[in-house]
Each structure stands twice: as structure tokens, then as C-alpha cells.
Amino acid sequence: IAGITQAPTSQILAAGRRMTLRCTQDMRHNAMYWYRQDLGLGLRLIHYSNTAGTTGKGEVPDGYSVSRANTDDFPLTLASAVPSQTSVYFCASSDSTGPYNEQFFGPGTRLTVL
Amino acid sequence: GQNIDQPTEMTATEGAIVQINCTYQTSGFNGLFWYQQHAGEAPTFLSYNVLDGLEEKGRFSSFLSRSKGYSYLLLKELQMKDSASYLCAALDSNYQLIWGAGTKLIIKP
């Protein structure tokens, strides 16, 4: 089934540990995004990639890094996790940036940093 | 700054009609999206408006007024499965989505 997969589904992590959240899409979409969703707040963009080989910073990039080595994969790394990074993380993709391009979301990763 | 406002929570009765409002202020504007998100699940696309007016899609309709910075999502013949959060998002001049916090819609029998 075409779509976006994320791994892990959930994770409990000790503060200070390094963690990589995985995201893979099979729709050959050019653009990919990482969001975090916290209670009472809208989705906030962490990093994005308009096409393979390029990345950009979103609204809340500090403490996170991404890479886009190919079209399908867009991993998000927390170099040294802190409790404020406890959140639900969604990966999304769209055919391209610009109008009319809806974003498709993965199922999310629920991360708890203790 | 950029801002999206929508009510936090609304309650409606099964079979009725409900209108969820959204106002936006963004740096440039390239359209307005509505997404549905059931608890514990990912957001899914409902509608996109870039021109003024009403777009109808089955039981759901979405309206946009660019001059007023205003949109609404209209849900008709409400069903229990419509209980979800509804997210409003505006596409700014950099083609990035600015998201509202979402409106939790509770449907009562």
C-alpha cells in the first residue's frame, strides 16, 4: 500500500541520548516535512526538504537535524534529547511545494524523553 | 507575525449541521487547507481553497474570503464518525503551512 511509514511507533528515551526517527515514502514525492504536535498547539514545522539533496529549517529546528540522501527517506535525528522534545512527531510528504499540493502524513511517532 | 485562530472545541448533535470558523494572518497567502484528525491518528486532507467562494465535496463544504482572512468548514448530516479535530492551515508566501491548533468536534447522539 502506497504511503508514508514511520518508525518507531513510540519510544521512551533517557535525556541526553541520541535518537533517529525514520520516515519513508513510496509515492515518489519531491517534498518532505517533519512536524511536532503538542497538546493545545498547532503542528509546528521542524525541518523540510523540497527535493532530494536539499533541506531547510522550519519554525522549531533547534536540537534536531535531518538529511535527504534520496527521494524516499527523510530521517530526523535528536542529537541529545531533552524533556521538552517529548511530543508526537509526524512526517509528511507532498508532490511538490506550492499551491494545490496537499500533504500526506505518516502515522506518527510518540516520543517521551525522561 | 503569522497566526491562525479557530475555536478550541465545539459540540453538535448527530444529523445536524456545524460550521467551524478559521481566521488567518500570514505573510502572503497561497491557499487554505482543512484537515481532519481522529484521536491518535494522522491528519488527513479534506479541502483546499485558494479562490473566494464555496467548495462543496459531499457532506463537507469549505468557504474562503481572502479579503477578510476568513474560512469555514461546514459539515452536514453529522455522523458519530465525524467526531475528530479539524485543523485549519494557511499556505504562506514561502509555501509553508501555518497551522491552527485545531477544533475538537464532539458529536452527541
pLDDT of residue A100: 82
Residues 27-56 (B) with a CB less than 8 A from some CB of A: 30-31, 33, 41-45, 48, 50
The answer to whether the Cβ–Cβ distance between B44 and A58 falls below 8 Å is no
pLDDT of residue A97: 80
The answer to whether the Cβ–Cβ distance between A42 and B99 falls below 8 Å is yes
| Candidate from B41, B42, B101 with C-beta closest to A42 | B101
- Residue B87 sits at the chain A interface (C-beta within 8 Å): yes
Most A-contacting residue of B46, B91, B99 (CB-CB within 10 A), to test interface? B99
A74-93: average pLDDT: 98
Tell me whether strands A104-105 and A44-49 are parallel, antiparallel or unpaired. unpaired
pLDDT of residue A77: 98
B82-97: average pLDDT: 94
The three-class DSSP label of residue B32 is strand
pLDDT of residue A68: 98
Share of chain A above pLDDT 70, in %: 98
pLDDT of residue B62: 98
Pick from B1, B31, B46, B52: nearest CA to B96: B31
pLDDT of residue A56: 96
Could you tell me the pLDDT band of residue A1, with boundaries at 50, 70 and 90?
Answer: low
> Which grid cell is A55?
533541506
The answer to whether the Cβ–Cβ distance between B89 and A107 falls below 8 Å is no
pLDDT of residue A96: 85
Distance from CA of A101 to the nearest CA of B (A): 9
Cell 444529523 found at:
B15
| Candidate from B41, B97, B101 with C-beta closest to A103 | B97
Q: Which residue of B has its CA nearest to A47?
A: B96
Q: Compute chain B's Rg from CA coordinates.
A: 13
pLDDT in tens, A30-77: 999 999 999 888 899 999 999 999 999 999 999 999 999 999 999 999
- Residue A104 sits at the chain B interface (C-beta within 8 Å): yes
Q: Which residue of B has its CA nearest to A4?
A: B42
DSSP one-letter string for A30-91: SEEEEEEE-TTS--EEEEEESSTT--EE-SS-TTEEE--SSSSB--EEESS--GGG-EEEEE
Specify the range with the lowest mean pLDDT, choosing from A39-48, A70-79, A81-90, B72-81.
A39-48
User: Across chain A, what does the average pLDDT equal?
Assistant: 95
Could you tell me the pLDDT band of residue B69, with boundaries at 50, 70 and 90?
Answer: very high
Q: Which residue has the higher pLDDT, A100 or B21?
A: B21
Q: Which residue of A has its CA nearest to B94?
A: A98
The answer to whether the Cβ–Cβ distance between A41 and B95 falls below 8 Å is no
pLDDT of residue A98: 77
CA A103 to chain centre: 13
B83-100: average pLDDT: 94
Distance from CA of A56 to the nearest CA of B (A): 11
